[in-house]
Chain A
Amino acid sequence: MDRGKRNFLKIAGLTGAGAYVGFVGAEAIGNKPGKAKKKLALVIDTRKCKGDCPDCIAACHREHNVPEEHNPNFKGPPVRSSQGIKWIWLSTFGGAFHEQVNEHTGRRKDPLVVLCNHCDNPPCTRVCPTKATWKRESDGIVTIDMHRCIGCRFCMAACPYGSRSFNFHDPRKNLKAVRPGFPTRTIGVVEKCNFCAERLGEGLLPACVEACTKKAMSFGDLKDKDSPASVALRSAYAITRKPALGTGPEVYYIL
């Protein structure tokens, strides 16, 4: 075997081995599903929720100073529908569960409440170049550090559920009343549902869960067998959105 070929094979072998080690190492330090100490989840019972009030959306957006500009009843200056900010909003059964739709299920017309799934294995956090978004190890909430977000919107491209919105303009312009207890965002950052991390810290339930008059939402730690979410999931059959993608959504829908 001539020298050149021999060296080439050696280098190729080393490169392959290096790539393998790098890959395994990246897996080890990267997003490992199920690492969080708690596994906070939201269970939405669509037998009770018909998406017709929708008190949860109003409560969430009031709580977090989210401009209601995506709302069809919004009365401010027009905003392109793709540029409206939303944390929790209404979709359709087909929109949320497009793999489940066939010509017969298509008749299911009730709107469905959707939000960030706080995925077990979130693709959005992997792509963030500044580590401005990550999955909290304490409770599994996928959160954003607004101070660090540079507004590149990679996370918006990575999220398969469209859960993230970008501030194309100053959000205070379209806020009727600013609630002093929570910061607004600024132009040029991405935002989304934070599972009410600030309320959980004070021992409160998420604003949507608290506001739901139909008691259709159960929230809690799935690692705790007695939490409302665990109890609700044991009581009925529930599905998640796009399970085949392997993101491990933590928002469940009882049908």
Chain B
Amino acid sequence: MADDKDIQKTEEEYRPTEYDYRHTEDARSDMPFIVLGVMVFVALMLGATVANRGLGKFRSKPALELPRDAKRCIRDTAFMRSNHMKLLNDWRDAVVRGEVRKEKIPRRDATGKVVKDAAGKTVYQTIERSLTKTCLRCHDNPKAFCDRCHVYAGVTRPGGSLKCFHCHIMPNPRPRAGR
């Protein structure tokens, strides 16, 4: 008996009512807080962005220090820009696990064209697959090349350095004008 009464009471008490929240006093009094909150949020996000890079610098590319005397890389620039990390990984696996240290690449002249011999065959040169002995021989200041671009691209945090250089030893940059 008591159960029935309870059920009845419950249904009456909790029957949903039509209620329009838009016209209550409460909602209108919340408005300034919401606007303030949005403003604080925007200011914080913008502040963080500006503190990181400065709005004006967004589109400018990082000033990379290119090798002084070497003119040609072991691959063309477009390939290196998008695939250098893959190349380095392949080299690492080839040397450490495959025990193959040397690699043959086509010789290129100063304009970047592949050199051919009299018979029209491509002339090759042998290079060592080595970060320190090959890459860093020309890019003798990784801080102003690798790190600068990686920080720009958000690969490393500002002021940080690549994990490569936890073990591989950075060369002493050769002196050059304007450094």
Contact = CB atoms under 8 A, between A and B. Distances in A.
Interface stretch (A18-26, A101-109, A177-185, A220-228): A177-185
B169 interface: yes
Contacts of B132: 180, 183
Interface string B159-179: 000010011110100000000
A243 to B, nearest CB: 29
Give the size range of B's interface with the partner: 10 to 19
Interface string B126-158: 000000100000000000000000000000000
Given A138-B99, A145-B96, A185 B171 contact: no
B128 to A, nearest CB: 10
Contacts of B96: 143, 145, 147
B92 interface: yes
Contact of B169 (A147, A184, A201): A184
Interface in A124-139: 136, 138
A240 interface: no
A180 B163 CA distance: 17
Interface in B27-53: none
A176 to B, nearest CB: 15
B101 interface: yes
A146 B166 CA distance: 11
A185 B132 CA distance: 15
B113 interface: no
B160 to A, nearest CB: 14
A197 to B, nearest CB: 8
Contacts of A146: 167
B99 A180 contact: no
Interface in A163-202: 178, 180, 183-187, 201
B79 to A, nearest CB: 23
Contacts of B86: none
B97 A185 contact: no
Contacts of B99: 136, 138
Nearest to B170: A180
Interface in B82-122: 92, 96-97, 99, 101
Given A138-B99, A201-B101, A186 B166 contact: yes
A158 to B, nearest CB: 21
Nearest to B171: A180
Given A145-B96, A147-B96, A201-B101, A185 B167 contact: yes
B169 A180 contact: yes
A147 B167 CA distance: 10
B92 A147 contact: yes
Q: Which 7 A-B pairs have the closest CB atoms?
A: A186-B166, A183-B167, A183-B168, A180-B169, A145-B96, A186-B167, A184-B167
14 contacts: A136-B99, A138-B99, A145-B96, A145-B97, A146-B167, A147-B96, A183-B167, A183-B169, A184-B167, A184-B169, A186-B166, A186-B167, A187-B166, A201-B101
Given A180-B132, A180-B171, A183-B169, 20 more contacts: A136-B99, A138-B99, A143-B96, A145-B96, A145-B97, A146-B167, A147-B92, A147-B96, A178-B169, A180-B169, A183-B132, A183-B168, A184-B166, A184-B167, A184-B169, A185-B167, A186-B163, A186-B166, A187-B166, A201-B101
